[in-house]
Structure 1
């Protein structure tokens, strides 16, 4: 086992197992994977599905990737939606790789839940955990090991539980409008223009000839964050919205 300077602390010996986009399996030392496009790879572990299980697995269609992504629980699907909403995320995948390591506590393996690639090229690894388990010693050790490995790779790492309630309520609502609209697509430039200054949703739609059609287009623009509002406040007719470039 390797050691840090002066032998102060054992260093994890870690290999990474992953399956590339063409279905080829790789087992690679940690220092050789920084350039691997994990956001385009296949799942390193299949999500189990069986009668009587407590989790609720399913599939989420991602507007970012244009693909169906498997999730293991409803909580995990929330974070897939939040990543889909994040304009800095340009690609992501689930069950993307397996760490196979040895450290001072012994041998360990772990398949993180999600890998995301940001528009600046950086990597972001997430583990989604039941909030009731976040304080357990087993989960804490897993978090420490994974965070240590991500630090060596230069990736960000988070272990997350439930997202903020109001923010999730708003993003969940907007996710219903994540597919590009066909009917009313020509209204997008006008809506963005009218939101050049802060305006309530009710007043903005009042300018439109067909407000019901315009409403769906508006929420798609909010999903794309071309029009923005306070995500931590309830979404109402009185909610102030403004064009994204103005808000910046």
Structure 2
């Protein structure tokens, strides 16, 4: 491998190994590829691997740690995110400091077609020299590709509390589906959640529908404040019209 040349090692949709020069990265929809490596799972391990069902892609995505699963939920809630994949490829490159390899945690495709790589690390590890070097190398490569890059740790507690709560209501509606129209109509003028659900004959069922609509951004609210019964919501279309 020549200096300053980088390749992406990935698996296609048939599980066949591929090696792609980075200058051709735009030719592959990495948001749809399977993980390039298996996530280890064994008794007594430090991390807690598992699978997360993504509402934006309607598929299971494997994660290596609870912290990584948090960021999957946050990305899933982000209205700018169209799809994401875990462990999408391994970067194989060489620069002035020598050869290096790295498998990013998440590849994100935004609704506008732009791409983002995300690495998830515990806060205490982010300042470590080796981690900082990996982040710098990956960020430099992403700039060459026209991608964004973030290394993230623990999310903001308030943001996480809100998103993790609403995530429980992200799946398609079954019971209460008929309440969607009336609730959106009532919320054309902002009003508190508690008042909105009180207009329905089954308030607790209506509450679940309200949270579902909030997750899917059909009901807008202020995410910088704690989620409470007095949280004011309003129909997203009405806000845009205003």
TM range (shorter): over 0.9
Q: Secondary structure at the match of 1:116?
A: strand
| Equivalence for 1:27 | 19
**Cα distance in 1 between the residues matched to 2:238 and 2:5:** 49
Q: Distance in 2 between matches of 1:46 and 1:232?
A: 37
CA distance in 2, matches of 1:149, 1:42: 22
Counterpart selection for 1:172 from 164, 177, 183: 164
RMSD: 1.3
The structural deviation recorded for 1:83 is: 0.9
CA contact 1:20–1:38 (8 Å) conserved in 2: no
Q: Aligned with 1:121: secondary structure? A: coil
1:113 aligns with 2:105: yes
Select which of 69, 80, 84 maps to 1:77: 69
Counterpart-to-counterpart distance in 1, 2:27 and 2:71: 24
**What's the TM-score, normalizing by structure 1?**
0.94
Give how far 1:160 is off. Answer: 0.4
Q: Secondary structure at the match of 2:170?
A: coil
Q: Secondary structure at the match of 2:26?
A: coil
Residues 168-190 of structure 1: per-residue CA shift (max 9 Å, x gap): 00000000000011111011111
* Aligned counterpart in structure 2 of residue 217 of structure 1, from 209, 213, 221: 209
Structure 2 CA distance for aligned equivalents of residues 145 and 34 of structure 1: 19
**In structure 1, how many angstroms separate the alpha carbons of the residues matched to 2:10 and 2:188?**
46
Counterpart among 174, 181, 185 of residue 173 in structure 2: 181
Structure 1 residue 246: Cα displacement: 2.9
**Alignment correspondent of 1:91:** 83
Q: Which residue of 2 aligns with 1:151?
A: 143
How many residues are aligned here?
A: 240
In structure 1, distance between residues paired with 2:176 and 2:9: 46
Matched, 1:162 2:138: no
Q: Which residue of 1 aligns with 2:219?
A: 227
Alpha-carbon contact 1:200-1:238 (below 8 Å) kept: yes
Distance of 2:148 and 2:30 partners within structure 1 = 14
Moved over 6 A (4+): none
Q: Secondary structure at the match of 1:34?
A: helix
Q: Look up the SS of the partner of 2:124 in the other structure.
A: helix
Structure 2, unpaired ranges of 5+: none
Give the whole-Å Cα distance in 1 for the aligned partners of 2:12 and 2:144. 22
TM-score by length of 2: 0.96
Matched, 1:18 2:10: yes
